[in-house]
Amino acid sequence: MLSFDEIQVSVSQWLSKKRFKHTLGVVESATHLAELYGVDVEKARLAALLHDCAKELSLKEMQKLVSAESYEADQELLSNGNLLHGLAGMIRAKQEFSISDNEVLEAIRVHTTGKVHMSKLDKVIFLADYIEPNRDFPGVDELRKVADQNLDKAVLLGFDNTIIHLIEQKQSIYPLTILGRNDVLQSCK
């Protein structure tokens, strides 16, 4: 298997400057959260490095990756690159770097949608994507604060922000995102 640094070189070539900077920010935040919550730091760093590796492919290219590996994906996922780059990134990570760690692959896959019964690694990547140092949106400082105190509460807040944003933008909400949000809400009680 290639080293982290070798994979980083490829990822830097696949992404714009801005998105590569975001990716390195996610690696930084994921490292911090993994240490804080007892998650395998190497897995968190690798998943963070690769989480957006398919984000700048065209929708067609993402769909091709998914159909070549015959992964099941519903129409809503297949027609929206904002959602599909998670699954497509997982497949790209497998194909290009022979990543076989299912926990790492799953964290890449679900970072766009969330799901029910997210692992701690899934949550770390999901959250790091929101709070990495380059992020600047109303409420990000509050989210960073909560992320240092309670992983589930921070993930819930992340879901809530996403869902509110989608409603404000008059966009559809992927059903699994609602189920994931309800699931983590239970863990917060």
Identify which of 92, 2, 25 has the alpha carbon closest to the alpha carbon of residue 55. 92
For Fe ion, the closer of residues 19 and 187 by Cβ is: 19
For Fe ion, the closer of residues 14 and 187 by Cβ is: 14
**Angle subtended at Cα 178 by Cα 176 and Cα 182, rounded to the nearest 5 degrees:** 115
Indicate which single residue of 31, 46, 52, 151 sits in contact with Fe ion (rule: CB under 5 A): 52
Stretch that binds Fe ion, among 67-75, 127-135, 149-157, 163-171 (CB under 5 A): 127-135
Stretch that binds Fe ion, among 6-14, 123-131, 135-143, 178-186 (CB under 5 A): 123-131
Q: Strand, coil or helix: what is 118? A: coil
Indicate which single residue of 106, 122, 129, 152 sits in contact with Fe ion (rule: CB under 5 A): 129
Stretch that binds Fe ion, among 2-10, 45-53, 153-161, 174-182 (CB under 5 A): 45-53
Q: Which long-range contacts (CB under 8 A, 24 or more apart) does 12-21 make?
A: 14/53, 14/56, 15/52, 15/53, 15/55, 15/56, 16/56, 19/52, 19/55, 19/56, 21/134
For Fe ion, the closer of residues 27 and 156 by Cβ is: 27
Nearest-angstrom CA–CA distance, 62 and 57 = 6
φ/ψ of residue 137, rounded to 5: -145, 160
**What minimum distance in Å lies between the beta carbon of 19 and Fe ion?**
8
**What minimum distance in Å lies between the beta carbon of 94 and Fe ion?**
17
Contact status: 122 vs Fe ion (CB under 5 A): no
DSSP state of 15: S
For Fe ion, the closer of residues 90 and 151 by Cβ is: 90
- Segments in 51-80 forming alpha helices (H): 59-68, 75-78
Task: Map tokens 């911090």 to a residue.
Answer: 32
Stretch that binds Fe ion, among 29-37, 49-57, 72-80, 159-167 (CB under 5 A): 49-57
Nearest-angstrom CA–CA distance, 8 and 152 = 29
For Fe ion, the closer of residues 106 and 129 by Cβ is: 129
Binding site for Fe ion (CB under 5 A): 52, 129
